[in-house]
Structure 1
């Protein structure tokens, strides 16, 4: 697999297929690596990558950068895929292509206090180009990009495009805060206003200012913060 080209401020490190890029990015953060590192898998059947950041804001706000990862993926696929390919989101980090699940984002941080800036923030994106061990259409709820008109798309192409679009959204997040990401993300989440089963059962009313889920459960309403959906530090 050819090495992808990254925009300025980002640099790449390849890992062989089967190694978790998020785990490698977390380890790099613990060792004090500079932000901007993109760890990417050489797996030709998936976009599987993680980026290391060093936020200068409380974790409850910094976690919203995960939306930049998701919006970057949507814009990257919009630039590379046929126009009929539609990307939508599930809260907190699910990706859908033409209505079926097609990958997800993961997040972890160096420090769990939502009111303090973390030492580092690692965000990962995985989107399958092909699903192994199953026939196309076998499970209509799950898909891969090759099944949605993107058979010629390669993982390095998608990774390069995603890294550029992600950086645009990340810069907007740093400069303008959560509102522009909030608005763009809501426009791609069809579940808002309806009943959901995950991460809890209730009526999904919308997002709070930091991207948390506002959930009505019977007569009660509560907020599930994005930070609750992050993976623990290893």
Structure 2
């Protein structure tokens, strides 16, 4: 399998043995590795990667990297897959291909305080390439990339494309703020207008605010669930 090539300001590190890239990236970030480090693991049935970022803004603003990396993934797969393949994004990070859950993005940071600038922030990508079960229909809501007409999309090429699109979006975000990313993400969002349950709150998913917090309407009230609610405990 070929070694991935990453855009300028990014550098790849292959996960060793059974290391999970998301956890390995957090460990390296805590030790002071450079922002732009991409820890990756490409297997026959699964693509996993994690991007280390060194934000220069408070955590509440840096959390935009989660939807940004999700949009970057959709743009990357959209450029490589047949045109009939549809990719949609869940607020919590799930990736859906042709209606089925195919993978997810997750996020961890050195702090949970939204007003503090984190020392590091890590975005993880976990994508199923082949089915996890030999029993057809065992998981009707889940799918795998190569089941959805994407057999010609190699995992390494997709990983490379994802990082390029992420870098493009980071540059645009730094220049133009959240507005272009917000518009792009809303066009790909899944479940808007539907009933959801999040943080013990059930209601109608109205969309997101300017910082991508989830807006849920319950009766006459609208509740905001900030993106920081999605932070996973540091490894």
TM interval, short-chain normalised: over 0.9
Task: Specify the alignment match of 2:42 in structure 1.
Answer: 42
- What's the C-alpha RMSD, in Å, of the aligned pairs? 1.5
Distance of 1:32 and 1:198 partners within structure 2? 34
Q: Tell me the matched-pair count.
A: 234
Distance of 1:171 and 1:130 partners within structure 2? 33
TM-score norm. by structure 2 comes to: 0.94
Cα 1:208/1:132, change in 2 over 3 Å: same
Task: Specify the alignment match of 1:223 in structure 2.
Answer: 224
Distance of 2:14 and 2:189 partners within structure 1? 32
Question: Where does the alignment leave 5 or more consecutive residues of structure 1 unmatched?
Answer: none
TM-score norm. by structure 1 comes to: 0.95
Moved more, 69-78 or 197-206: 197-206
**Deviation digits for residues 209-231 of structure 1 (CA, Å, limit 9, x no counterpart):** 11010111233221000011111
Task: Specify the alignment match of 2:213 in structure 1.
Answer: 212
Contact kept, 8 Å, 1:15 with 1:41, in 2: the verdict is: yes
**Deviation digits for residues 74-108 of structure 1 (CA, Å, limit 9, x no counterpart):** 11111111110000011121111011111010000
**Deviation digits for residues 24-83 of structure 1 (CA, Å, limit 9, x no counterpart):** 111111111110100001323222100001011110110011112111111111111111
Task: Specify the alignment match of 1:89 in structure 2.
Answer: 89
1:94-173, aligned counterparts within 5 Å?
94-173=94-173
Distance of 2:135 and 2:48 partners within structure 1? 22
Distance of 1:136 and 1:38 partners within structure 2? 34
Q: How far apart are 1:12 and its partner, in Å?
A: 0.2
Contact kept, 8 Å, 2:112 with 2:231, in 1: the verdict is: no
Task: Specify the alignment match of 1:31 in structure 2.
Answer: 31
Cα 1:232/1:31, change in 2 over 3 Å: same
Q: How far apart are 1:111 and its partner, in Å?
A: 1.3
Moved more, 128-137 or 67-76: 128-137
